[in-house]
Amino acid sequence: MASGVLRDGLYMNVFCRFFLLPLGLFSSSLCGPALDSVFAWTLCPLNVLLIIVDDLRPSLGCYGDKAIRSPNIDQLASRSLLFQNAFAQQAVCAPSRVSFLTGRRPDTTRLYDFNSYWRIHAGNFSTIPQYFKENGYVTMSVGKVFHPGISSNYSDDSPYSWSFPPYHPSSEKYENTKTCRGPDGQLHANLLCPVDVADVPEGTLPDKQSTEQAIRLLEKMKTSASPFFLAVGYHKPHIPFRYPKEFQKLYPLENITLAPDPQVPAGLPPVAYNPWMDIRQREDVQALNLSVPYGPIPVDFQRKIRQSYFASVSYLDTQVGHLLSALDDLQLTNSTIIAFASDHGWALGEHGEWAKYSNFDVATRVPLMFYVPGRTAPLPEAGEELFPYIDPFDSVLELMEPGRRVMDLVELLSLSPTLAGLAGLHVPPRCPVPSFHVQLCREGQNLGKHFQLQDLGEDPHLRGNPRESIAYSQYPRPADYPQWNSDKPSLKDIKVMGYSIRTIDYRYTVWVGFDPREFLANFSDVHAGELYFVDSDPLQDHNMYNDSQGRDLLQSLMP
């Protein structure tokens, strides 16, 4: 953007924020798709609050899970556009985050593990916060946004993506240490780790610290002449399940049900199974003396895992609630887009698995919702709170329906172009093939069309056809059979890649040979296949790949 346009935009932003807004004369809904993007940005640039959660599957009230107490996230959903069928491109932290923050697929970022930095290893691809920063935004990172370590150059991609050094909670370093008090009274490094917060090191937890820091930044930005892009990354419900112990009370063990399909499916190819080695390393799981790779977890411990996952989700919900309530208190809800997403899901016993690391829906499907002031919900009146804090411990919680659901299948890597479009910035162009030499482009769709339906009277001709939407995912394996590094193989060890297509009707996965030196898949070298018909088999337990019905479908897909 030209410096003159940027300068004038900042002047106009000051006018909007400090003169028109207090008088009720400025509506951020003016920033609609009908306006030229530069003019819209200049007139009324919207802030962005991006909330990224680690390992959160759609186990939320707003996604129909009535057992989960998530009133604050549900309240956000009630004022948002909610995507019912959103999928990650790889169900593991670093590859997924780099994918949706750059808008590129893992085969383009060439990151399938945790051990490379895309700007050096693949191409100097821009990120969504970098794009906002280059367009005059103050960009800030709190908590786990990029995966820390090599995959973000040990800097969370600073200084490219952020205006200031990213914030990481000081108590984060205790997450995997012996801070879990066991039945023996001693401290352990357990999977299940409900704690008395007053007794843990520093007397706090990482997500609490991240919320507090995010609120401090919002307070500073309230009086800023520049719009902001604030990304807040929450750790829970990532393992270990280390959360305030009072949240266990929301989920009595006697009320916890098991996964509806806790057995390893008979027709599951061995290459598709993940042996959840990371939770086996926890002291309380080691004490169960489970056989590898398929050894089932005892039923009573399964219930405890599910209880702690759900309790972690409710604890997360309180942090989201405090953050959004502060946005209200600072009168920023009428000028801030809120995007809420997870990096991938997590299996809670389905298919006999207890982790991500697969192509199943439970690992790849994620919550995804967008609040846009004046678009997904009316602008708040003076003094009105859109997101008052709701205590999940209240005995009676009001059931809140999402503002509007989109049933089309969408991909998480659409997050970047969608945020750009909603903020009134120019949406980056589609990537050519190959695109390693192109710094700014997108491989995902801009989901902006879904936000226009309300404005256009729900014209049925503008609705997407769910049967035409497709989501792609992939996962690497070091071998055809489960082994110690099947969950998280290093690049050099990858021998097989599972490419998966999810449509409204089926999930089709083909496991093919892969050359990690050339980053090439050999689709003539098929190791195994999976095919699940969603209508008759929503849990994906009956592999029809070698069945006559499956062969007929696959034949019809051939060019």
Q: Containing H/E element for 513?
A: strand 506-515
User: Is residue 147 among the annotated active site residues?
Assistant: yes
What tokens appear for 153 in the block? 């150059």
Q: How far apart are CA 339 and CA 86, in angstroms?
A: 13
Three-state SS string over 315-354 comes to HHHHHHHHHHHHHHHCCCCCCEEEEEEECCCCCCCHHHCC
Q: Which of 373, 356, 374 is nearest to 365 (CA)?
A: 356
Q: Cβ–Cβ contacts within 10 Å for residue 173, how many? A: 12
| DSSP bridge partners of 532 | 507
Q: Containing H/E element for 80?
A: none
The answer to whether the CB of 371 falls within 8 A of the CB of 80 is: yes
Q: How far apart are CA 439 and CA 446, in angstroms?
A: 18
What tokens appear for 287 in the block? 């004490």
**What are the angstrom distances between the C-alpha of 316 and each of 58, 207, 241?**
13, 8, 11
Q: Catalytic pick from 147, 168, 188, 351?
A: 147
Q: How far apart are CA 535 and CA 544, in angstroms?
A: 13
Q: How far apart are CA 348 and CA 310, in angstroms?
A: 10
Q: How far apart are CA 528 and CA 524, in angstroms?
A: 12
Q: Containing H/E element for 98?
A: helix 93-102
What tokens appear for 355 in the block? 């982790």
Instruction: List, in order, residues 6 or more apart from 104 with CB less than 8 Å away.
Output: 98, 118, 125, 413, 431, 435, 442, 443
Q: How far apart are CA 376 and CA 362, in angstroms?
A: 28
Q: Catalytic pick from 16, 93, 180, 193?
A: 93
What tokens appear for 174 in the block? 């205790």
Q: Can you give the C-alpha Rg of the chain in angstroms?
A: 23
First to last CA, the chain: 43
User: Is residue 441 among the annotated active site residues?
Assistant: no
**Which residue's entry shows tokens 């089709």?**
508
Q: How far apart are CA 473 and CA 510, in angstroms?
A: 11
Q: Which of 47, 230, 222, 54 is nearest to 142 (CA)?
A: 230
Q: Which of 365, 364, 347, 366 is nearest to 265 (CA)?
A: 347
- What secondary structure letter does DSSP report for 258? P
Identify whether 237 is preceded by a cis peptide bond (ω within 30 of 0): yes
> Which residue spans within 180-277 are E strands per DSSP?
180-181, 187-188, 192-195, 228-234, 241-244
The answer to whether the CB of 126 falls within 8 A of the CB of 102 is: yes
Active-site annotation, residues = 93, 147
